[in-house]
Structure 1
Amino acid sequence: MSARSLFRTAGVVLVAFGVSGCGVPGPATPAEAMAPLRRDLSLPAKGDRTEAVTVSYLVAGDPVGPRLILVHGTPGAAEGWADFLSDPPPGLEVVALDRPGFGLSGPEEGAMTTLDDQANAVAALLPETRPAILLGHSLGGPIAALAAARHPDRVAALILLAGSLDPGLETIHPLQRVGAWAPVRSMLPRPIRNANAELLDLKPQLEALRAELPLIRCPVLIVHGTDDDLVPFSNTAYAAANLTGACAVETTVLEGADHFLPWNAVAAVRAAIARAEEIRC
């Protein structure tokens, strides 16, 4: 393939991701306002990874209150939750992480694209002595769900916001395979490169996650828009059917809402957070 064709193909892949995830709405709060809230933690080396990985995150709100951990989709970054950090729900400490491979988190080279790796990063932010609420948007949904399944004693509630859990609904666009081809991949920005890697391998990982969903014991709130063109609304039925160990499962249907709930349905997201605080089993 000629250099011109390579650049053209890379451009097409970028456009494809722009339509399906990158060219999305964003928070009203400017990203620059988040800089004073930035913190870091280190994930120790594990398995084939021989070096520690820095996980960058933003924190705001009540430092002694229950911790709300916000998990973005793919691609994404902690600043996407800026409206919830600039105006945190009363009484909560709000933490939004750059998932490994995105934003200011490592690794710079290579990717941590498995749900297991990503859930471990989320689990590192779970407090030892305070309750935690996990909220995952889009691909952040199965990541948060896996963290809740692995740490049932440390998660008080789980919110699945337009979460992608049903492996039967996962499809791969031919351009995604083009984007995985080394010459094209090398020209893609890091977040697009890593997002593509996550999505290409997502279906078998969601199939494996199915066995762990019944291990979630906390209340689960499912929030999804009926006009979601990226993560089908029918994910809600799959989630409810497989969360058999949860002490309560509540589904909020947002009529006419699209996929971008953190920015287009802020009031509904805040209502789900408030409900997660009050629900008890």
Structure 2
Amino acid sequence: MTLRRTLAIAAALVAAALFATIAYVAWRPEVLVAAEFARQLHGAGLSKQARNVAGHRWVYAERDADQTDAPTLVFVHGFTGMKENWFPLARVFGGRYRLVIPDLPGWGESERLPRENYGFLAQSERLAAFIRSVSPNKPVVLVGHSMGGGIAALVAAGHPELVSRVALLDAAGVRFDDNRFGAEVLAGQNPFGVHDRASLDRYLATVYHLEEAMPRIPWPADRAYIAQRTRDAAFEQAVLDHIGRGPERFLPGEEAARIGQPTLLLWCQQDAVIDPSAAALYAARIPQASTVLLDDCGHMSMMERPAEVAAAIDALIERGRPR
């Protein structure tokens, strides 16, 4: 066999393997999404863990601190969010703290059970049990975003022995000034609903202000994401009925008056989801809170401004004082 023929056969085999790979990814685009999440997990120095708590299997990311006596930070994502939302912030922190980043029950890779309530109060009790499990006998710094901020406020108020400090980022749970997002929720819609590429682009444009921070979801990964969000539509609607329109919708703000720990309130001024007026409403109920308003960012503060968010949490840990 001549060298030229050998090279031609090798090139054909490589091309066939490449075509097969492309075809497989196009057929199973969720493989591409999983690979990207694994890359982000590794890039942030995190490992994936799982444990059964409060009747659910929790999947979470974790990283130990450089020093064994460092504080433990627990991050809680928002509505339609996932643990991966916190990975940019995890990279900024390095090894200063132990990090625990769960998918809340019902979301991401954690277990969802039929006919369960995944509203503010039920999730706060599950989160309290999770904190007891991952950090026994040592209170944590609890950081919650959006819906996760409302859940974190309830845990800090109702289980103060579990939380040494609390940070509420763009947190839900109070009656903020009217905006389009709030009006659509009250009208019975899901402004975050995704069922095609146009609604996906609308969702991303609503939660992000900085285009450079917006996740790129190219074909065929967008197919997998859209399919998953379409399957989740009924679940999302049920949760939104609890936290956006039901009797619990303002419970975090009402209970916030019981928060005695050092508290950080952090908002982005261009937040089109939870209007920045919410920060003042929380501050009126938590007089010891420090408020940080960041400019030129939207609802996803920890992804759009991770360095500034990390600095504010550092200050909360280093200089916070209890009421």
Q: What is the TM-score of this pair, normalised by structure 1?
A: 0.75
From 273, 279, 290, give the equivalent of 1:250.
Answer: 290
Instruction: Choose 219-228 or 187-196, whichever is displaced more.
Output: 187-196
Q: Deviations over 1:52-78 (max 9, x none)?
A: 211111101316521101100010111
8 Å CA contact 1:136–1:143 kept in 2: the answer is yes
Pick aligned residue for 1:133 from 141, 144, 147: 141
Query: Aligned to 2:250, what secondary structure does the other structure show?
Result: helix
Structure-2 residue corresponding to 1:259: 299
How many residues of Structure 1 are paired with residues of Structure 2 in the alignment? Answer: 236
Indicate if the aligned counterparts of 2:76 and 2:149 stay in contact, CA closer than 8 A.
yes
Contact 2:175/2:278 (<8 A) preserved: no
Structure 2 Cα separation of the partners of residues 191 and 121 of structure 1 = 21
Match of 2:279 in 1: 236
Tell me what 1:106 maps to. Answer: 111
1:94 to partner: Cα distance: 0.6
Matches of 1:259 and 1:109, distance apart in 2: 30
Equivalents in 2 of 1:237, 1:118: separation in Å?
A: 25
Counterpart mapping for 1:1-281 below 5 A: 30-33=36-39, 34=41, 37-44=47-54, 52-62=55-65, 64-123=69-128, 124-126=130-132, 127-167=135-175, 170-171=182-183, 172=185, 173-176=187-190, 189-202=230-243, 203=245, 204-244=247-287, 248-278=288-318, 279-281=320-322
Q: Hey, what's the Cα distance between the residues in 1 that align with 2:274 and 2:188? A: 18
Residues 90/212 of structure 1: CA separation in 2 closer, same or farther (3 Å cut):
same
SS in structure 2 at match of 1:57: strand
Q: Which structure shows the higher helix fraction?
A: 2
SS in 2 for 1:125: helix
Q: Distance in 2 between matches of 1:194 and 1:89?
A: 35
Is the 2:149–2:172 Cα contact (8 Å) retained in structure 1? yes
Point out 4+ residue stretches in structure 1 off by more than 6 angstroms: none
Q: Distance in 2 between matches of 1:72 and 1:148?
A: 16
Does the Cα contact within 8 Å between 2:89 and 2:303 map onto a contact in 1?
no
Q: Which residue type is aligned with residue 195 of structure 1?
A: E
Inter-partner Cα distance in structure 2 for 1:192 and 1:94: 30
**Which position in structure 1 is the counterpart of 2:196?**
none
Superposed CA offset, 1:193-222 (max 9, x none): 333222222242133334421221101111
Gaps of 5+ in 1: 1-28, 45-51, 180-186
Partner of 1:5: none
Aligned with 2:150: secondary structure?
A: helix
Structure 1 residue 256: Cα displacement: 2.9
Q: Among the aligned pairs, what percent are the same residue?
A: 25
Distance 1:168 1:274 in 2: 27
Deviation at 1:192, TM superposition (A): 4.0
Gaps of 5+ in 2: 1-34, 194-227
> Structure 1 residues 276 and 190, CA, compared in 2 at 3 Å: closer, same or farther?
farther
Confirm or deny: 8 A CA contact 2:140 2:165 kept in the other structure: yes
Shift of 1:241: 1.1
Residues 61 and 205 of structure 1: CA distance in aligned 2, closer, same or farther (over 3 Å) = same
Q: Over aligned residues, Cα RMSD in angstroms? A: 2.6
